[in-house]
Structure 1
Amino acid sequence: MRATPVSNHDQPDGKSVVTKSWRAADLNLLSGGAIEYAPIISEAQIQLVSDQLDVWDAWPLADALGNPVHWRGAELWFALAVPRSADPEQRHHLARIHHFRRVDDRFEHLGETLPEGLSPGSRLWSGSALCERGRVTLFFTATGRKGEATTTFHQRIFATSAELLSSVEQPFGAWSQPREMVQADGALYRPANQDEGEPGKIKAFRDPAFFRDQGRADYLLFTGSSAQNPGTHDGVIGIAKADEAGAYQLLPPLISATGINNELERPHIVRSAGRLYLFWSTQRGVFAPGINAPTGLYGATAASLEGPWDLLNGHGLVIANPPERPTQAYSWWVLPDLSVTSFVDYWRPENPAKTEFEGRRERFGGTFAPFLHIELDGTHARLVKG
């Protein structure tokens, strides 16, 4: 693993990054433009990986360019998972990382990835995975604190590494002691250290996504909250760059949604036709009051990491859930071939005869959604249909 433990400095060099401000005026363009809606997911398309697990937030084991690594004639993937329960919302308090084998578009569950107690958190949230020279580096969010008596929402970014083996039963060697890769500095990024909260309203410092540019510099993207403009809706896409010693240094955000959105989740970058495309997921419920934007995959593009970044399609929206199923899928991840994975969220319509809690289990999918595919042309993105 090239990276070494935390080494932030007080005044990151902001000359190399031009932050794109995502504004309400950009999203107002949605009211007059064509929206790319994903097709409705039918019951026949929902294939449980396991009838004992809820699965969400997935990412592949990838090479330094983001391409899924071929392993035993297939691909190796990671996702958050928990035992299925009566209330799917409880999964956020219990989440662990599991690994899966992808054969064509079918996923096989292989097992829980990290030994219990290895992480400094009480549970594990999303990240990314790099494979180089036969070794896997798993970047992840350590949420809460090990041994805590009550569930907290502290979020920190760590990495651990292990040798990639050939055994389906045991794909990894011994995992290294996790190392904290970067910390919120309180100047650019707010520490995510809340003791209490709920999904959608907590502050963020999570979802590390590895990216290597063509100059072979290494970066981590992450979901963050602004320390420069703190508020109820202060979501940003953060970035940190590895220095020559391999320690990650914070840079100003790539995207700032202060005043309009609280969470720009699972950011990641894909190269296509000589440009960089930055994607993130967000939900309708975390936009500021008065902003009518759907749950979906959003994005921006630039010629280089330094920017300037342009919102895709003028407003940022790439794929939206269909109006008839506004919560059917979430947590999109775009691969270099422009195929797009996500998970089946609350896909059934609400049942008026049942309370919200009573209807959750029958509405929640908890498995991989059918893959979609997009096309990119400069600052435009479209869903490939048919």
Structure 2
Amino acid sequence: MNHWTTTPITEDVLRGAADLERTEHGLLPHRLPARARAQCADPQLASAESQPSGVRLSFRTSATAIELDVFRTTVDLLGFPPRPAGVYDLLVDGRLVAQASATGGDARTVDMATGAVETRSGPVDTLRFTGLSPDAKDVAIWLPHNERTELVGLRTDAPVEPVPDRGRRVWLHHGSSISHGSNAASPSTTWPALAASLGGVELVNLGLGGSALLDPFTARAMRDTPADLISVKIGINVVNADLMRLRAFGPAVHGFLDTIRDGHPTTPLLVISPVLCPIHEDTPGPGAFDLEAVRAGTVRFRATGDPAERAAGKLTLTAIRQELARITAQRAADDPHLHHLDGLALYGEADHAELPLPDRLHPDAATHQRMGERFAKLAFGAGGAFAR
């Protein structure tokens, strides 16, 4: 029988979270700090930031068996296809060796027509990883990028210690649901996680599904987060939320970057414009579900705006790319550490012809892989914004 060692879950063994909230079941990792969360009551943001994209348990051990107790919360929309279960990735010395999914927890079903929520509650679940090498090794358990996860307990059959500091740079990234990991196969294979692995850096992922909206509290959170490298991917959520017009967008971008610079005056800062999304290239938002597709059993999105309103400042992805290129060129005259990357270099027309967006908005697993590899080459490679 294994002799189990229980390790408290603290910041010493958890990476990628802004803070930990004690709940009825255990500890809930948050990717935005409490002060930021208190400034916005949007349920979409609350859901996104509590899904631990990029958050992982990280420790060094010679354990051959690991048990992790978790309490998950899933959300499905009434009448829509069920969402896939979240995946836990176990990496040993940077290599994926096992995966698991949790059961139990709270399962919420939302009726979008009435706003009613039905909740079915289940128990805490225990994930078990066995058959590991008895050698000393770095272990990382990446939490599901798309499933709220409360951490209840961590047990191993050998002691655990924090991973020693190996001088890896910290990359802080903010973006939309694509950066959050929508439609990626697992948490360590979202495009930012893949790029971080290839670039040899530690990821802090502030990809917030539906919520990359130039919010001042997000900028302040980034200002206050220690980082050696910073990137912001801006555009798609501003369009599909129909949040602002061109007159407001430019100053909002300046303000967002100004706030980050208040805390990171000389840190390499990369502004990334949107990847290709044909429905919004020249058609403004708001975006919406394609209900005919939903009735047929699949999820797709559509743009509902009027292209004629572009003349009045309604935003499209084409307009946002032009504005971001202009703003970064203007600021770079006084900020040599500011850089720009056209999102079409990560996913453009040729990529769409080969790997179309399955739901017309989010890339699939193969496209996450391609975008991660492309970003690593463009940003971390020779001549890139994040090259050493």
Q: TM-score, normalised by structure 1?
A: 0.30
RCO higher in 1 or 2 (8 Å CA, sep ≥ 6)? 1
Q: Which has the higher strand share?
A: 1
Q: Which has the higher helix share?
A: 2
